[in-house]
Amino acid sequence: MKFILSIIIIVMTAMVHANPNHLLPVPAYDSDGYDQAVFKSLIGNVRPEIWMVVRPSFEEEYAIVLYRDIEYEEAKGDMTYPRKAIRDEWLLSKISATQKIWAWKDIGEGRSILDIKPTDDVVKDSIAVNKADYEKIISAWKVALKTTRYPDSKNMGLDGTTYQFYAHYNLFGQTWSPKEGLPLNIVNLGAALEDIIKTKENRKSALIKANEIANRIINTNPNKASNPTP
């Protein structure tokens, strides 16, 4: 029964347009609280410039986040003036849930119920970066997100991965197991950022690869093609 319910829910959340060359809106109605649980667990209260949340059907969720991390001096007494920043840096991080947030709870007699809730049980791998080195990547992220629209038709998928994206300010979009076009490029760009984090040596080459993908997104912007300059 649990397996059948999982398949039904996956089908409901994986309805996508067949190979669209744009991102899809993130659903506003979070009926089971899964979106919020993943966001609170992986993004939380950081100051993100961009992020990608990866939600495989049957594996642990994770996020790639570029954000500004500021630590202020401790407040003393009735301190009301702006506190001095004692640390101010940009971080590129991968935050991974150690157990799947989409979870089932056994309630006995062969029955299970969805048990979705935020978790602090995450693993965080971060590197300090120079934001100036990521401006083209940020621009490409925004180009991709500005293509977000509803599809003309829908196609249902089963086992796969949902990718959700954000850029400052309040640009959101998502795709599901893309095979080509802009959605695949933005997923590949997120994976290239992950490679930068994982690479212990020669991060410069990994950053060059990420910028090459960013250039591809900018140069093949479908919005530019459909709205030529007069």
Tokens of 209: 């690869």
**The model's pTM:** 0.86
At CA 204, angle to CA 197 and CA 43, rounded to 5? 25
* Residue of 179, 174, 172 whose CA lies nearest to 164: 174
Is the four-CA dihedral 15, 21, 26, 29 of positive or negative sign? negative
Tokens of 30: 């979070």
- Residue 210 near residue 137 (C-beta atoms within 8 A): yes
Mean pLDDT for each consecutive 10-residue tract of the chain (230 residues)?
A: 44 52 94 95 96 96 97 75 84 97 88 92 97 98 97 72 96 96 98 96 95 98 66
Would you give the DSSP letter of residue 160? -
Whole-number pLDDT of residue 159: 79
Strands (E), the chain: 15-16, 47-56, 62-72, 85-97, 104-108, 111-114, 122-129, 155-156, 161-167, 171-176
In whole angstroms, give the CA distance from residue 45 to residue 36: 13
CA atoms within 13 A on the CB side of 86: 6
- Residue 151 near residue 158 (C-beta atoms within 8 A): no
Whole-number pLDDT of residue 120: 96
- Residue 143 near residue 221 (C-beta atoms within 8 A): yes
> Do strands 15-16 and 155-156 pair parallel, antiparallel, or not at all (unpaired)?
antiparallel
Whole-number pLDDT of residue 229: 45
Whole-number pLDDT of residue 227: 55
Whole-number pLDDT of residue 108: 86
